[in-house]
Amino acid sequence: MSDANLASLTLAEEMSLPATTTSVLPRSRFTIVLGMYFTALVYFFLTRLVLLNPIHPPTLNQSDVSFIFSVGLLYDTVFYLYALLPVTFYLWLMPQRIWRSRWHRYWLHLLIFATVYGLGFIALAEYLFWQEFAVRFNFIAVDYLIYRREVTDNINQSYPVAWLLGGLVLPTLFVSWLLKPAVFAATKGQERFRQRGLMFALNVLVAAACIYGIGQGFREHRESVPVRELGSNGPYQFVAAFRNNQLNYREFYQLGDDKVLGQVLRQQLQITQPPSPQQANYDITRQVTAEGSPKPYNIMLIMVESLSAEFLGAFDAKQRGLMPELDNIAKQSIFFEHCYATGTRTTRGLEAVTLSIPPTPGRSIVKRIGRESNLWSLGNVLKEKGYDTRFIYGGRGYFDNMNAFFAGNGYDIMDQSSTPSQEVGFANAWGMADEYLYQQATKAAREAQQQGKPFFFHLMTTSNHRPYTYPEDRVSIPSGTGREGAVSYTDWALGDFFRRAQGEAWFDNTLFVVIGDHTAGGAGKLDLPLSRYHIPWLIYAPKLLPARAVDSVVSQIDVAPTLLGILQQSYQSKAFGRDVLHPVDDVPERALVATYQRLGYYTKGQLTILEPQQGVVQHLNPESEHPQVVIPAADDVNLLITEAYYQGADVVYSQGLDAWR
């Protein structure tokens, strides 16, 4: 293009812009950076405002709101500095001749459109993620990128994706039009190569300083989880979750004396014999000897997706009628009134029930590829006793590394991919409907019965999960309309399964165990709100066990030892759980509850929490809506027990003390 044509084009463009715009904006390549910064701040501010709106006003005060927007501005700016690095690099290297060409101006407008559309997409994704989990992007969002098929199908089935994505186009065009003066001013920039290089170097230095100087600490100054989350930046949290998917316990958490804590742990697990000189402080290997003869009962362990205690009428009178089948079964079962999940994700529940180990910081052991196999497990113990042990999953078991985990710890695998397509009557993004999962389990039980083998089947359901779809004409609530319909269908499928099972030859000799993997919501006002971990656990065996309610506080890690106790099996144990049907008077009732960072020990009246950066806090009367928060003394008994469980679990797992062979 000639200089004359370029000049006329520039003049034409300048005449199409307001005079104030062309005079006020600095004619610099980096004007475009400034324009996009303020645009990003507006998007992040509006996102925070929208997410803030559903929170009930009395839960926030003026200080909370100030914290949310001031700390939020800090994280928004830091994220922008990181995102800016490739941009300033591009601005530095682009030759002036190309920079001012016509095609490059079109290219810049296209980049601006794509960037603004991306900001809108992030805001929309954050809103939908918040509706589901009440937190900003975290480990779950990282997982969603890894397992794209399930997540993409789930999103397509749950939301009008085409309308939502199409709806972003018009506001994006409008914002891009508003940024047109900044693009024009940028194309008039005259900075030399060296000047541009200094700007890039400055960006690198400031971003590097932020990496080392601005971490998660700024958002940790509030107890309230919503306040902390709203003060964060979603994309920043996503990157942080991707980088920090595991935490080094001995680096991040307050440490106690290993010898003392080892003794405390052994006392909690009722291990009377002292460790030998060759044993590690936390080696909890011991022989469990049953008093009577073994009882080779079958076990059908049904782990129900997102089964909150609040769904049962036994816990919440307002929910009477939502799960009538399970309410009725509970009256005929050993029913644990105070059972708590160890975490807020399915893999945490699977880990706790299968391995009987407390949650360790970071992702679940189930997903630690390369370190998830050859562990002491309920499956390995029963397989050695001659049981047919299987993990039967309604979805595709490669999701969350489930197949590798269970196959490596004593289980055969049955999942959707191994089920004949003609036997899958209904499926959605996450897997086959529960009733068809139960049909596969029934078929497998008949096979084991014919072979004369006792069986232990660990089932994992999928129906009580967004998009909440299920076969029509099962319940009165239409498919796909929300959580209540999915809960109602989950209950119907359980009732249908139990009625059909009563006609099977193996029914009278089977323990049916129903337990939630986690609750339907994992967030609350406090770090570890107990109500968000409270799940049902019942053992239904009308021909074998008399019905009764158990008032003790129990954990998912207690499932394996308790079932082995009912079977009166002698075995070598490396479990952290205990047989809660045979409690010991001088050992307190307890439950272990955690997020991927905060590790809690709950006993009635007190919740002790270990936090990263060596933090420790206690909630007194955590069952109430407004518990008292205190810092425990160094010699507090419950603090020592908390450290014994979690520090011990870290050593046992990291040093392979829980290896099966």
What type of residue sits at position 150? E
Q: Could you tell me which residues come within 8 angstroms of residue 421 by beta carbon, excluding any fewer than 6 positions away?
A: none
Q: Residue 561, Cβ neighbours under 10 Å: how many? A: 22
pLDDT in tens, 349-389: 999 999 999 999 888 999 888 889 999 999 999 999 999 99
The tokens describing 46, both together, are: 């509006």
Per-residue model confidence (pLDDT) at position 414: 97
Per-residue model confidence (pLDDT) at position 7: 43
Per-residue model confidence (pLDDT) at position 142: 66
Q: Residue 588, Cβ neighbours under 10 Å: how many? A: 17
**Average pLDDT for 36-41:** 93
Predicted confidence band of residue 417 (pLDDT cuts 50, 70, 90): very high
For 585, the enclosing helix (H) or strand (E) is none
How far is 638 from 640, CA to CA, in rounded Å?
5
Predicted confidence band of residue 419 (pLDDT cuts 50, 70, 90): very high
Report the share of the chain in percent with pLDDT over 70: 90
How far is 309 from 332, CA to CA, in rounded Å?
17
Per-residue model confidence (pLDDT) at position 2: 46
**Average pLDDT for 245-265:** 86
**Average pLDDT for 435-443:** 98
Beta-sheet pairing, 615-620 with 628-630: antiparallel
Per-residue model confidence (pLDDT) at position 134: 74
Per-residue model confidence (pLDDT) at position 43: 94
Helices (H), strands (E): how many in the chain?
Answer: 24, 17
Predicted confidence band of residue 390 (pLDDT cuts 50, 70, 90): very high
How far is 259 from 88, CA to CA, in rounded Å?
54
What type of residue sits at position 388? D
Per-residue model confidence (pLDDT) at position 379: 98
Identify whether the C-beta of residue 342 lies closer than 8 Å to the C-beta of residue 354. no
String of DSSP letters for 188-247: T----HHHHHHHHHHHHHHHHHHHHH-SGGGGGG-S-HHHHHHTS-HHHHHHHHHH-SB-
For 30, the enclosing helix (H) or strand (E) is none
How far is 141 from 186, CA to CA, in rounded Å?
36
Please indicate whether residue 222 or residue 4 has the higher confidence score (pLDDT). Answer: 222
Predicted confidence band of residue 8 (pLDDT cuts 50, 70, 90): very low
Identify whether the C-beta of residue 386 lies closer than 8 Å to the C-beta of residue 408. no
Cis bond leading into 467, ω under 30°? yes
How far is 55 from 45, CA to CA, in rounded Å?
16
Q: Residue 628, Cβ neighbours under 10 Å: how many? A: 10
Per-residue model confidence (pLDDT) at position 370: 87
Chain position carrying tokens 């027990």: 641
Phi, psi of 382 (to 5 degrees): -75, -30
Predicted confidence band of residue 296 (pLDDT cuts 50, 70, 90): very high
pLDDT in tens, 553-612: 999 999 999 999 999 999 999 999 999 999 887 889 999 999 888 899 999 999 999 988
pLDDT in tens, 139-153: 666 666 655 566 677
From the number of C-beta atoms within 10 Å of its C-beta (0-12, 13-18, 19+), residue 386 rates as exposed
Per-residue model confidence (pLDDT) at position 9: 45
How far is 650 from 314, CA to CA, in rounded Å?
36
Q: In residues, how long is the chain? A: 661
How far is 125 from 148, CA to CA, in rounded Å?
15
Per-residue model confidence (pLDDT) at position 354: 98
Domain boundaries, the chain: 3-243, 258-558+565-654
The tokens describing 308, both together, are: 């909150």
Strand order, beta sheet including 510-516: 412-414, 388-393, 455-460, 298-304, 510-516, 534-540, 334-340, 548-555
**Average pLDDT for 321-337:** 94
Per-residue model confidence (pLDDT) at position 242: 65
pLDDT in tens, 163-212: 999 999 999 999 999 999 998 888 888 889 999 999 999 999 999 998 87
How far is 316 from 324, CA to CA, in rounded Å?
12
Class of the CATH-defined domain 258-558+565-654: alpha beta
Per-residue model confidence (pLDDT) at position 251: 75
* Residues linked to residue 455 through DSSP beta bridges, in sequence order: 388
Chain position carrying tokens 């036994």: 314
Query: Nearest to residue 538, comparing CAs of 339, 342, 367?
Result: 339
How far is 472 from 173, CA to CA, in rounded Å?
42
Query: Nearest to residue 115, comparing CAs of 51, 179, 160, 163?
Result: 179
How far is 331 from 511, CA to CA, in rounded Å?
15
At 601, is the secondary structure helix, strand, or coil?
A: strand
pLDDT in tens, 516-562: 999 986 554 557 889 899 999 999 999 999 999 999 999 999 999 99
How far is 82 from 205, CA to CA, in rounded Å?
11
Per-residue model confidence (pLDDT) at position 522: 53
**Average pLDDT for 83-89:** 92
Per-residue model confidence (pLDDT) at position 149: 62
The tokens describing 45, both together, are: 């501010």
DSSP letter for 581, please.
T
Q: Report CA dihedral (78, 81, 85, 86) to the nearest 10 degrees.
A: 100
Identify whether the C-beta of residue 660 lies closer than 8 Å to the C-beta of residue 377. yes
Per-residue model confidence (pLDDT) at position 238: 81
Q: Is 302 a residue whose pLDDT tops 90? A: yes
Q: Residue 523, Cβ neighbours under 10 Å: how many? A: 16
**Average pLDDT for 507-522:** 92
For 334, the enclosing helix (H) or strand (E) is strand 334-340
Q: Residue 251, Cβ neighbours under 10 Å: how many? A: 10
The whole-chain average pLDDT of the chain stands at 89
Q: Report CA dihedral (527, 528, 529, 532) to the nearest 10 degrees.
A: 120
At 403, is the secondary structure helix, strand, or coil?
A: helix
Q: What are the helix (H) ranges across 527-623?
A: 559-566
- The b-or-e profile of 103-129 (16+ CB within 10 A means b, else e) is eebeebeeebbebbbbbbebbbbbeeb
Identify whether the C-beta of residue 263 lies closer than 8 Å to the C-beta of residue 309. no
Beta-sheet pairing, 286-288 with 571-573: antiparallel
How far is 237 from 222, CA to CA, in rounded Å?
17
Q: Is 58 a residue whose pLDDT tops 60? A: no
Beta-sheet pairing, 334-340 with 388-393: unpaired
Q: Is 318 a residue whose pLDDT tops 80? A: no
pLDDT in tens, 121-144: 999 988 888 877 677 877 666 666
**Average pLDDT for 100-125:** 92
How far is 511 from 508, CA to CA, in rounded Å?
9
pLDDT in tens, 259-280: 999 999 999 999 987 776 666 7
> Which parts of 378-533 are beta strand (E)?
388-393, 412-414, 427-428, 431-432, 455-460, 510-516
* Residues linked to residue 617 through DSSP beta bridges, in sequence order: 609
Predicted confidence band of residue 320 (pLDDT cuts 50, 70, 90): low
Identify whether the C-beta of residue 227 lies closer than 8 Å to the C-beta of residue 60. yes
Chain position carrying tokens 């089935």: 157
Query: Nearest to residue 405, comparing CAs of 360, 463, 353?
Result: 353
**Average pLDDT for 618-633:** 90
**Average pLDDT for 407-427:** 96
Per-residue model confidence (pLDDT) at position 322: 87
Report the share of the chain in percent with pLDDT over 90: 66
